[in-house]
Amino acid sequence: MTSEEKIKQLRAQLREHNYNYYVLDNPTVSDYEFDVLLKELQDLETAHPEFDDPNSPTRRVGGEVTKNFETVAHEFRMYSLDNSYSKEDLEDWEKRIKKMVDGEVHYTCELKYDGASMSLTYENGTLVRAVTRGDGFQGDNVTPNVKTIKSVPLKLQGDFPQKFEIRGEIVLPFEGFTQMNAERVANGEEPYRNPRNTASGSLKLQDSAEVAKRPLECLLYSLKGSKLPIQTQYESLEKAREWGFKVPEVAKLAQNIDEVLEFVNYWDVHRHELPYETDGVVIKVNNLQQQEELGYTAKAPRWAMAYKFKAEQVATTLEQITYQVGRTGAITPVANLTPVELAGTIVKRASLHNADQIEKLDIREGDTVFVEKGGEIIPKIIGVDFTRRDPNSQPTQYRTQCPECSTPLVRKEGEAQHYCPNTEGCPPQIIGRIQHYISRKAMDIEGLGGETVALLVTNGLINNYADLYLLKAEQLIPLERMAQKSAENLVAGVEASKHIPFERVLFALGIRYVGETVAKKLAKHFKSIDALMAASFEALIAVDEIGDRIAESVIEFFTSEENIATIQRLKEYGVQLQLSEETLANQTDTLAGNTFVVSGVFHKVSRTELKKLIEDNGGKVSSSISGKTNYVVAGDNMGPSKRTKAEGLGIAIISEDDFLGML
């Protein structure tokens, strides 16, 4: 046997043993025998570097050092999940689903593991990239660190697709977490607080050899790709297991919401027997075609719902109420608490939301309060222990002046929050607006973070986001923690932001109520900042999904002389304040005034591409058929009830070819 053949044989043996041990939990050799084989392979690879393989089992020990993690855009966005907390929530969700899709709806129930979300990309059966969730649109490339996790297959087995992504959670089992903490305490170090944060932090360690020492696991649950050979979510879990992934066996196929609740109720009790942290159940529509029909909201899939287990509660003392100022001037009261452990973390602060909430619960400084983690993420006060209240306690008087600039606060009729109206002179508002402008989903300015923005404002170098475009490296170098290279990178990052498309610039401006989705709709409709600035209230509310509140906010923003002056400066500096010629070339008004419902499976273009064609040509896409629908674009397997409803309303049912012919 040649050295190359021996190396290939050892790699195959070690991969099989690794899969048996870490994925199937069924070891077929002793640790000693495994180590002997691994040492033999290491020696052969050292002697024959010409047979190097980046996915060899020997690479599991790590050793690669990453100073800065590359930011990578997700090919398929990683969405958040909507949450539910009761049977009624799930029943309401099911009602919404059944209005939008035909036929019976079945569900896949899976446990919601509390770890660090990860997307793995495989090409030709080989792991090529591992990217953190990040903001859902882009994350950090942590491939060298993830390769050290034994339950992540570096090479697949079976009939896997040529290219696909698989999503899951990197978790730290309780046993490994306890062992790590025992070692830290023995070394005189502070123990880690909880498994989830430790798992997440491990992925950003610079030395992959250090990551390899941590007993992390990867639990997979979602496939993404084009034309994958699967029809249902449950089938995708079974396929992923066959290909070599560690997919939890507890998943269940439920025929209805009652069976979903059986699964939820069982695991609400038995989750404490599991080796990992869980905080709920994820329920998904099982049929992938139905998933595609249901689509997404701006933040979450309509076809999935997280059911959160009842949150843990503790009692502690509210020591002081302080007030924070947001970038829009909104005032948020904050409860400063006697530190207390809650769901694995130390809680010191909790939001009190607004004056009405304080009055409703009669919350006062010095009270013993009950604190809960809403969805086990954000701490909130849910009540007061009145039996322990000081008899001399006085009701809370809500603050009347801004805590930062002392300007009298205002509260508009019908709104819950107080605001500081000093938009141009209140430091947190100035800093907050610029921090929003440079954020990932907005201008995404490389080399510039939130702390640096505060530093620039404090040192008088900038006072609004237009000032960023005047910065010179020599102005920045004298600042604290700002070296020559950092200063040059910041200036280059600001220059590069001039190429960010108009819809993201519009979001970056920070107009109240204009989030990502609204900014895209406004940019698409008005095509330039000048047209938007000139738009009347009537013109604004005529845009799909733009209501009175958004329209009033847009008009108010553009009546400010300061805002108009800032936008004029952005124009002069070359920021994109209109749709690009390429985008405009792909848009027409051919379908203007028409509403389409898309249903079924298509062959020439995907459902997503079809919807984009409708919107790019001035049409509107609706998820359900109504009297306002003009056309139903029907593909294969269109549901009979949708067809019946469309025919009953006299709505034209057209084919994929008919639709493409309209363009």
Helix, coil or strand: residue 423: coil
Annotated catalytic, 112? yes
How many whole angstroms separate alpha carbon 295 and alpha carbon 285? 11
How many whole angstroms separate alpha carbon 389 and alpha carbon 380? 19
Q: What is the 3-state secondary structure (H, E, C) of 209-246?
A: HHHHCCCCEEEEEEEECCCCCCCEHHHHHHHHHHHCCC
Q: Which two tokens stand for residue 534?
A: 């000139």
Q: Is 394 exposed, middle or buried (0-12, 13-18, 19+ CB in 10 A)?
A: exposed
Q: Any idea of the CA torsion for 78, 80, 82, 85, to the nearest 10 degrees?
A: 120
Amino acid present at 418: H
Evaluate whether 427 touches 420 at the Cβ level (below 8 Å). Answer: no
> In sequence order, what are the beta bridge partners of 632?
597, 653
Task: Name the residue among 240, 234, 310, 238 with its Cα closest to residue 278.
Answer: 310
How many whole angstroms separate alpha carbon 451 and alpha carbon 158? 49
Evaluate whether 396 touches 363 at the Cβ level (below 8 Å). Answer: yes
Task: Name the residue among 608, 658, 645, 650 with its Cα closest to residue 630.
Answer: 650
Q: Is 269 exposed, middle or buried (0-12, 13-18, 19+ CB in 10 A)?
A: exposed
Task: Name the residue among 413, 583, 421 with its Cα closest to residue 503.
Answer: 583
Q: Is 400 exposed, middle or buried (0-12, 13-18, 19+ CB in 10 A)?
A: exposed
What contacts 52, CB < 8 A, 6 or more positions away? 45
Catalytic residue, from 87, 112, 308, 527: name it: 112
**350-355 contacts, C-beta under 8 A, 24 or more apart:** 350/379, 350/380, 350/381, 351/378, 351/379, 351/380, 352/321, 352/381, 353/416, 354/416, 354/417, 354/418, 355/398, 355/411, 355/416, 355/418
Q: Which two tokens stand for residue 290?
A: 């139905």
What contacts 347, CB < 8 A, 6 or more positions away? 314, 316, 337, 339, 340, 341, 371, 373, 379
- Supply the DSSP symbol for 23: I
Amino acid present at 525: H
Give the DSSP letter string of 447-497: T--HHHHHHHHHTTS-SSGGGGGG--HHHHTTSTT--HHHHHHHHHHHHHG
Task: Name the residue among 587, 589, 592, 594 with its Cα closest to residue 632.
Answer: 594
Evaluate whether 277 touches 171 at the Cβ level (below 8 Å). Answer: yes
Q: In what order do the strands lie in the sheet with 620-622?
A: 620-622, 595-599, 631-634, 652-654
Supply angle C-alpha 206, 138, 605, rounded to 5. Answer: 140
Q: Is 41 exposed, middle or buried (0-12, 13-18, 19+ CB in 10 A)?
A: buried
How many whole angstroms separate alpha carbon 133 and alpha carbon 131? 7
Evaluate whether 163 touches 122 at the Cβ level (below 8 Å). Answer: yes
What are the catalytic residues? 112
